[in-house]
Amino acid sequence: MKILHLDTNHPLLLKQLCELGFTNDEDYTSSKEEIEAKIHNYDGFIIRSRFSIDKNFLDKATNLKFIGRVGAGLENIDCDYATSKNIELIAAPEGNRNAVGEHSLGMLLSLFNKLNKADKEVRNGKWLREENRGIELDGKTVGLIGYGNMGKSFAKKLRGFDVNVLCYDLKPNVGDENCMQVSLQELQENANVLSLHTPQTNLTKNMVNANFINSFKKNFWLINTARGTSVVTKDLVSALKTGKILGAGLDVLEYEKTSFENLFSDDKMPDAFNYLIKSENVILSPHVAGWTVESKEKLAQTIVDKIKVKFC
């Protein structure tokens, strides 16, 4: 079987697939149209997020048996159409779930203890202790929306704290010893912290909007290491201004795209984003929650292991 690699990944991916008897070709620079012209020669291809895999692309992949996505989600692939063509879809959420859990916890503790603000002040010669008095996680209720690989990882990290962990998920009976599954209404009535661990779907797009935010009984902290499209940024900013949202840790943004840097030109920065980057109770990171040295290897290994089970 021939596999085309469209993004660079950990070297073990190529090495182990070669050892399993696969022929591996690499093309990290050709345009989508150029790839489409030769994709019929391959039984499988492996991608991260280089471009979307749509119906037209899949129609040209006449011999395709599988798609490997070295990441957690499959939103850049027309999954329904691929499935209708009996193409196996292979993702690797197991590979970076630990990294996402750790990053979520790190963001939350940094917000509670004002670490980014305090660090900046000390570097600028300010020694403001009372202004940087933190709050403790113990005694709080943490609500998770989405209780798959990422949500479960975060819940496991929280076992070292005296917290109540609740989750809401569309799938029934996903709760475990680390988290109690509840209705969305019960989560919104009790949560001091909300952490998102959902895939990008029609249901999750713009999910965290003004109505959703105002349905929470308590003022709360927001952590988003899932997808930027889940949060309506202008509604988040409105809630930060009123104090309904006490602070936010955002690894993903509504504005994510290859031209992100262009937002920093004077005429292109949205007002809502301008507010976020100036807020002391907001922590931002560039979609790296699952992007660790260890997860790079684990993601690749997960893809190899799944291909081996299905096709060897």
The total of other beta-carbon atoms located within 10 Å of residue 12's CB is: 15
Tell me how far CA of residue 187 lies from CA of 15, 147, 181, 195, in angstroms. Answer: 46, 13, 9, 11
pLDDT in tens, 58-75: 999 999 999 999 998 898
Predicted TM-score (pTM) of this structure:
0.93
Is the separation of the CB atoms in 13 and 46 below 8 Å? yes
Structural domains of the chain in order of their starting residue, each with its CATH number: 2-91 (3.40.50.720), 97-284 (3.40.50.720)
Q: What whole-number distance in Å separates Cα of residue 249 and Cα of residue 237?
A: 13
Query: How many residues are there in the chain?
Result: 312
Q: What whole-number distance in Å separates Cα of residue 187 and Cα of residue 203?
A: 18
213 Cβ partners below 8 Å, 6+ apart? 235, 236, 239, 244, 245
154-155-159 Cα angle (round to 5): 115
DSSP 147-162: -SHHHHHHHHHGGGSS
Q: Which two tokens stand for residue 15?
A: 């090495």
pLDDT at 263: 76
Block means of pLDDT (10 residues each) for the chain, 312 residues, are 96 97 96 96 94 94 96 90 96 95 98 97 97 97 97 97 98 97 98 96 95 98 96 98 98 81 76 94 96 96 96 90
pLDDT in tens, 92-146: 999 999 999 999 999 999 999 999 999 999 999 999 999 999 999 999 999 999 9
pLDDT at 49: 85
Q: What whole-number distance in Å separates Cα of residue 165 and Cα of residue 155?
A: 7
pLDDT at 225: 97
pLDDT at 208: 98
Given its phi and psi angles, is residue 173 left (phi above 0), alpha (psi -120 to 50 degrees) or beta?
left
Residue 220 C-alpha from the chain's centroid: 20
Catalytic center residues: 227, 256, 287
